[in-house]
Every structure is written in structure tokens, then in C-alpha cells.
Amino acid sequence: MTMIYLDHSATTPLRPEVFAAMEPFFGSTNEEENSKYGNPSSIHGAGRAAHAGLSEARRTVADVLGASPTEIVFTGCGSESDNAALRGIALARRKQFGTNRIITTPVEHHAVLYSAEDLRDFFGFELTLLPVDGDGLVSAEDLERALGDGSDAAVVSVVYANNEIGSVQEIGELGALCRERGVPFHTDAVQAAGKLPLDVDQLKVDALSASAHKFYGPKGVGFLYLRRGTPYHSYLTGGSHEGGRRAGTHNVPGIVGMAKALALCETERESEMARLQQLRDRIIGQTLESVPGVRLTGSHTKRLANHASFTIRDVEAEGILIALDLEGFAASSGSACTSARQKPSHVLEAVGVPVEELAGGLRISLGFSNNVQQIELLLQRLPRIIERHRQSIPAPI
Ligand SMILES: *Cc1c(COP(=O)(O)O)cnc(C)c1O
């Protein structure tokens, strides 16, 4: 039985073109190409070849963002980019201007949320969590209220597209409010990269985080866009790599693969997202119609084209996911909460999902390999699987 992979928000397979681009930088058996494994900081030919790959990758990423190559910092993952943005900007801004408030949302990925809590608990920052509506969206009015004249805000961070519920924020509108007050604005674009426009001038962001493995690149590599002039203190110290903004010898094959993957996604973005959106809408429409007690989480309209997420009353996500797996479908609950015994998802709680539905999350996230036949097969099987697992379960604690 071949697996039908429906968990692209968790990670994506590496595209063959990406693997091919990376290969020479590991050191190839092809002699002509076997020169690129050097340390990009070295003077010799092998180092220069690696450095050339690094530079080209930096330009490719910068082009997709409408940024300058010097504004791109390569990192070890999306979580690192988020951590670096919050800690690096908040600490530098406080030192320079005495600003002492972090403003973010309750629907952030834990990489942002726990960084903000850490800055509060260990560094004495004030933390403001903006209200969100039932779709997980932040309003401009609420951000405006929280900012005031902006004089005490160190950094604002709002996730571009939510990993659990797929909602897409009005980043440009929020960014404009921060800019008027001179407050740096970061967005976690880990789910958005490859799927939504990343032009940093239109988004009006000063910092943006992304991760290669969410857009058909390799795992363990990401980038942070940092607008020129944004106060920043490297929290990973050592060598002067990345303009002193991130120490550590570069993961050259990973960075080259990431750039290739981002460029491919950008070229195909509009047509591929139109294709996936049709599949997504078929999943949402049919599931809402054929499964009793189901509710769409996140926005109907402002949502990732590849993302469908639900809560289902009186089922436990774990049982559904195991049953789906047995029938060849790889899906997710959409959060770390796969069992009524675990802590419920902070995102579902923040958007006001009733307690009796918190255990039954289901997330279908689509990608390159998915087609209409696979989706019809899923929709044929899903209602029966859910009925089989319908039970009365203990309310989550
Ligand atoms: C996956 C994800 C991250 C973390 O990225 P890693 O590269 O896995 O560390 C951060 N934010 C969001 C929204 C994500 O989906």
C-alpha cells in the first residue's frame, strides 16, 4: 500500500531538484564537482567554491523577499530564527532605547511564545499577548491599543500563517502600525514561505523567519531576514559568520538546498496554490457536510491554500490518526495534543474551541504530491473511520 502524505505542515519531502543542487557541496564522487565541500571561510579553492554556493543561495533568498543579500542570516531551523529574532532584537533595543515590552499573540508557535516567556521570566521584560478572534486573527485596533505611542515596545511578533489552524494574518496592515511608531516587527513565516508572498516591503516587516523543511528543502536549516538598521544582538556568539549575527560554520549543502527549494516554490507558487486550494475546498466542504459534530478551525477565507483543520466532537485525535495511518493516510491532529490526557492545544484554547472538542483535532495539509484521486479516497473513508471512533471520552483536564 502506498502512503498518501497529508501532513505537509509538519514537514515536506525533499524535492529531487533540491537534492541534486545540494549533492556537490557534500563532496561528490564526480571529480569535476568534487571541490565544493570546503569551509566557506577558507581561502583555498574548496573554500571559495563553497563560499560561491553560499553567496548565490543568499542572493536567491534575498530576491524572493525583495531584500538585500546582507539582510539574510542563515540559521539552523525555524525555531532558531524565531528565537534569534525575539531575543536578538529585544535585548539590543532595550540596551539602546530602554524599551521593555514584548508584544505578541497567544496563537504563536512555541518557538516564539516560549522565547517571549523566557524574556519575561529571565530577563525582566513585560509581555503583552494581543487578543485574537475566533479565527485566531489579530485586529489592527487591538495592536494599536497595545502599542500606544510605541515608546515602551521592544519588538512585536505576529505569526504570518498559523500552523495549527491555517489562518493568515494581515501582516502588512499590522506592520504599518509598528513602522509608524518605529517599533521593529517580526513575523514567523515558517508556514507562509513558499505559499504566500514574502515581499518584505509589502509586508512592512523588519524581521521574518522561515525554515527549509516546510517548503521541500532539507531539515535543520532556516533563515532570518533582518532589515538593515534593525537593532540586533547575536545570541549565538563565536566567529564572525553572518556579519556577526550568527556564529557557527555554515551548513552549506543545507543552505544551497534551501535556496533552490524556495526559488522553485516561488516560480510555481500561484499555479500550485490555485491547484491545492481546490483540493482543500473539496476537503472542507465535503467533511463539513458528511461528518456530524465537525467544525472548521481557523478562517474560511483568510487561510493557507493547502490547509484544512477541524475539531470533531466526541472523538480522540489519536484513534483517528492511527486508523487513517492503517488505511494509508498520514495526517495530523494539528497540534501536540493527540490525546485527551495531554494538555490541550494553546491555539485551540485561544480561539475559544469548547472543551468537549479540544481532544478531536484533525489537520490535513496538502502538498506537491497530492491529487484529486487521493482526496476522493480520503473523503470516502473518513466519515466511516470517525463514526467507528465516536465515543464518550473524558474531558481534557
Ligand atoms: C514548524 C514551525 C516552526 C519551527 O520550525 P523548525 O524548523 O521545525 O524549527 C516555527 N513556526 C511555525 C509556524 C512552524 O510551523
Q: Could you read off the pLDDT of 124-173 as tens digits, one per residue?
A: 999 999 999 999 999 999 999 999 999 999 999 999 999 999 999 999 99
Q: Where are the alpha helices (DSSP H) in the chain?
A: 16-22, 45-65, 78-97, 110-123, 140-147, 171-180, 200-203, 241-244, 252-290, 317-326, 346-350, 372-389
In the predicted structure, residue 391 carries a pLDDT above the cut 60: yes
Rounded to an integer, the average pLDDT of 310-319 is: 91
Please, which pLDDT band fits residue 32 given cuts at 50, 70 and 90? low
- Mean pLDDT (the chain) is 94
Contacts of 76 (CB under 8 A, 6+ apart): 220, 221, 222, 248, 251
In the predicted structure, residue 340 carries a pLDDT above the cut 60: no
Please, which pLDDT band fits residue 286 given cuts at 50, 70 and 90? very high
CA of 246 to the centre of ligand 1 (A): 19
Q: What percent of the chain has pLDDT over 70?
A: 94
Mutate to test the pocket of ligand 1, among 109, 158, 164, 346 (most ligand atoms within 8 A of CB): 109
- Confirm whether 337 is a catalytic residue: yes
Residue 353 inside a domain? The answer is yes
Q: Are residues 209 and 115 in the same domain?
A: yes
Q: 50-64, 91-105, 344-358, 361-375: which range is least confident on average?
A: 344-358
Q: Which atom of ligand 1 is nearest to the CA of 108?
A: 13
CA of 105 to the centre of ligand 1 (A): 16
In the predicted structure, residue 87 carries a pLDDT above the cut 50: yes
Contacts of 231 (CB under 8 A, 6+ apart): 89, 92, 93, 95, 96, 97, 184
Q: Are residues 233 and 122 in the same domain?
A: yes
Q: Are residues 82 and 196 in the same domain?
A: yes
The whole-angstrom separation of Cα 262 and Cα 195 is 10
Write out residues with Cβ below 6 Å of ligand 1.
77-79, 82, 109, 111, 159, 163, 188, 190-191, 211, 213-214, 222
Q: 206-220, 226-240, 329-343: which range is least confident on average?
A: 329-343
In the predicted structure, residue 306 carries a pLDDT above the cut 80: yes
CA 217 to chain centre: 13
Q: Which domain covers residue 276, as residue numbers?
A: 4-10+268-386
Q: Are residues 278 and 239 in the same domain?
A: no
**Residue found by looking up cell 543568499 in the block:** 58
In the predicted structure, residue 283 carries a pLDDT above the cut 50: yes
The whole-angstrom separation of Cα 78 and Cα 179 is 24
296 or 340, which is more confident? 296
CA of 193 to the centre of ligand 1 (A): 11
Q: How many domains does the chain have?
A: 2
* Predicted pLDDT of residue 343: 78
The whole-angstrom separation of Cα 384 and Cα 150 is 53
* Predicted pLDDT of residue 359: 85
* Predicted pLDDT of residue 338: 46
Please, which pLDDT band fits residue 29 given cuts at 50, 70 and 90? low
Q: Residue 115 is which amino acid?
A: S
The whole-angstrom separation of Cα 157 and Cα 146 is 13
Q: Are residues 325 and 374 in the same domain?
A: yes
Please, which pLDDT band fits residue 355 given cuts at 50, 70 and 90? confident
The whole-angstrom separation of Cα 92 and Cα 152 is 14
Residue 5's Cβ-count burial label (10 Å; 0-12, 13-18, 19+) is buried
- Whose Cα sits closest to atom 12 in ligand 1? 190
Rounded to an integer, the average pLDDT of 246-273 is: 97
> Which of 250, 276, 297 finishes a domain?
250
> Which of 250, 278, 311 finishes a domain?
250
Q: Are residues 179 and 234 in the same domain?
A: yes
Q: Are residues 194 and 315 in the same domain?
A: no
Rounded to an integer, the average pLDDT of 283-311 is: 97
Residue 160 inside a domain? The answer is yes
What is the CATH classification number for the domain harbouring 96?
3.40.640.10
* Predicted pLDDT of residue 30: 66
The whole-angstrom separation of Cα 84 and Cα 92 is 11
Q: Are residues 76 and 177 in the same domain?
A: yes
* Predicted pLDDT of residue 35: 76
